Amino acid sequence: MFEDADGNVITKCDQCRQMWKERNERGIEGEPPCDTCRVLLDPANENVAKIYLTVRNQVITRFNGQYDVPVGLDHNAVWNLIDHFPVKIEDPMECFERVISTFHHFLKKDRDNEN
């Protein structure tokens, strides 16, 4: 999501729809894959997801003898964003735990896919 020169917010969905519109104008028929692309979150999960997506690359790594592997998420990065998030986080500790849990979920999924 970003703002254009006029201050209008342009979401990824807006960008995708525009891309498909332009493709159709050039004769490449198709529709945006909204049903398979977009994930609709429960409103209770939106802030956790936004924080996770912002800090997910702030990882702690360890050298395994060949290369650095992610082992955790930088807790300072998570807390800093929780503390400075534009919307007040009602239960900061729960949010923190859910962000960390989400990170470890996807870390495990990545490791399982490697094997």
Query: Is 72 strand, coil or helix?
Result: strand
SS3 of 15-57: HHHHHHHHHHHCCCCCCCCHHHHCCCCCHHHHHHHHHHHHHCC
**Domain assignments of the chain as residue spans, ordered by start:** 1-38, 41-115
At 9, the amino acid letter reads: V
State the Cα–Cα distance between residues 65 and 113, nearest whole angstrom: 21
Q: pLDDT tens digits for 52-102?
A: 999 999 999 999 999 999 999 999 999 999 999 999 999 999 999 999 999
Residue recorded with tokens 């990824």 = 12
pTM metric for this prediction:
0.68
